[in-house]
Amino acid sequence: MNIRTIALPAVLILTAVLIPLCALAAPAPDVSDATADCLGCHEMTSPGIVADWRAGAHAATTPQKALEKEGNALMVSSDSVPDELKGVAVGCAECHTTAPDDHADTFDHNGYQVHMVVTPEDCAVCHAKERTQYKDNIMSHAYANLDENPLYQSFALAVNGRPTVKDDKLALSAASQATDAQSCYYCHGTKLEVTGTAARDTFMGEMDFPVIKGWPNNGVGRVNPDGSLGSCAACHTRHAFKISEARKPYTCKQCHDGPDVPAYKVYSTSKHGNIYSARNANWDFNAVPWTLGADFKAPTCAACHMSLLVSPDGQTIAERSHAVMDRLPWRILGLVYAHPQPKSPDTTKIRNADGQPLPTTLAGQPAAEFLIDKKTMDERKERMQATCRGCHATSWVDGHWSRFMDTIEATNESVAASTALMTRLWEQGRADPANIFDEYLEKVWTDTWFFYASHVRFTSAMAGGGDYGVFADGRYFFKQATTELAKEAGVETTSGQ
């Protein structure tokens, strides 16, 4: 046996094996002088933040290199990036010192004009298209859509209000800002306001830092010190900003796991979630574009709702969108009835036929002028179904969708029944509609549409069926709450074919 004849192919194979390993170890690009200054201290004082940043793409590449990608592989969507940023890693200073005059939380920090809160405008330096899409996204308006809706104020009082028992009354008064920041606004986003400056001892001596009311928060509709709306970090967690993380369902779970929006629970119990859980360790969550069938075998939240998807032969199946309603004709959560998505991401202007700030009346009539029309709904349905057809035959997709339509009709019908019972209780004086959310029976009614109809619709939308559609906060509990209202209203329940 001649060692040379064996060794050569072996070395070639070895090289093929080792090159990918070496590629992982490619040297990180230079950081700017400013970022080097940041790292000088923060490597020691904030080791976790620095280590996480080093683990991400921003530390491993430069805008210049990112701009060299082509077509569907391009991640930087701005037409150009300022020259001074192009050749260095996207480090501390690149994000925390952009446009200092625009940020009310900018402060002098060792000679740098640093702002604490990085906003979508900062990210837009490189990711302009995503920032524009997100602006049009209902999520970016999540703060005012609550805060400026009088019915929400009643609801918040009924949920978060401070209770006191006095003189035969249970009185609910306004909750603290801390309470609101930890409940609704945790996901919707707080309003950040710079209220002053505080001195703090550091290992560099006493230093001044801005005091920001509403901080910390990474809600999707956060009102920022530069006036922009939203936080990219809601889904793209600081400081690694890994696309792999945003594509996994745990990110969405943070705000879509509760009984009001049970998306994650339904997903994780669905066939899609089953396949994901069993097999995702072998999938590629970093590939851009994301190739259906090759990089992943079953969708995550991002795949159906946001991601740029291509087929193995490179055809685009779905365009990337940071306006999450682009593939959504119907709004099936959070409000009394399922209804077409609102036209504008700013929902504060909506008034129903009874003058209430709701997209339907309590009897179910849509406030049509504020909602998208059939043509827009059909376009969105087509975009969504295109992703379904990547893995399902048309007859499967059509059968699924017709059930979903049936569910929207059936759940709205069921909510009409529970609302009719609640109306009777109001008429009977069993509850006071001054605040339609704050008494026990009103909460049982709220359960019917806010929790149970939502579960039924999500299982239907996501083909989750089974448990969450029936017994796990689904139709069974929907009917239980409805019959409790009937019992209280003295309405007899009967059943028959």
CB of 107 to its own copies, least distance (A): 11
Query: Of 363 and 377, which CB lies nearer to its own copies in the complex structure?
Result: 363
Query: Of 370 and 401, which CB lies nearer to its own copies in the complex structure?
Result: 401
For residues 439 and 434, what is the distance between their CA atoms, to the nearest angstrom?
A: 10
CB of 139 to its own copies, least distance (A): 14
For residues 80 and 124, what is the distance between their CA atoms, to the nearest angstrom?
A: 11
Query: Of 143 and 468, which CB lies nearer to its own copies in the complex structure?
Result: 468
In sequence order, the 6+-apart residues with CB closer than 8 A to the CB of 147 are 191
CB of 199 to its own copies, least distance (A): 12
CB of 225 to its own copies, least distance (A): 13
Query: Of 85 and 418, which CB lies nearer to its own copies in the complex structure?
Result: 418
CB of 392 to its own copies, least distance (A): 8
For residues 227 and 236, what is the distance between their CA atoms, to the nearest angstrom?
A: 20
Query: Of 63 and 299, which CB lies nearer to its own copies in the complex structure?
Result: 299
User: Which structure tokens are listed for 212?
Assistant: 């920001």
Residues 105/292, Cβ–Cβ less than 8 Å: no
CB of 61 to its own copies, least distance (A): 19
CB of 409 to its own copies, least distance (A): 9
Query: Of 30 and 413, which CB lies nearer to its own copies in the complex structure?
Result: 413
Query: Of 129 and 253, which CB lies nearer to its own copies in the complex structure?
Result: 253
Query: Of 72 and 77, which CB lies nearer to its own copies in the complex structure?
Result: 72
For residues 298 and 391, what is the distance between their CA atoms, to the nearest angstrom?
A: 8
For residues 297 and 138, what is the distance between their CA atoms, to the nearest angstrom?
A: 29
User: Which structure tokens are listed for 333?
Assistant: 């959560």
| b/e code 62-86 from CB counts within 10 Å (16+ = b) | bbeebbeeeebeeebbbeebeeebe
Candidates 366, 360, 104; CA nearest to 374 is 366
Query: What's the one-letter identity of residue 148?
Result: E
CB of 446 to its own copies, least distance (A): 8
DSSP string, 233-250: GGTS-TTT--HHHHHSHH
For residues 179 and 259, what is the distance between their CA atoms, to the nearest angstrom?
A: 20
Residues 264/253, Cβ–Cβ less than 8 Å: yes
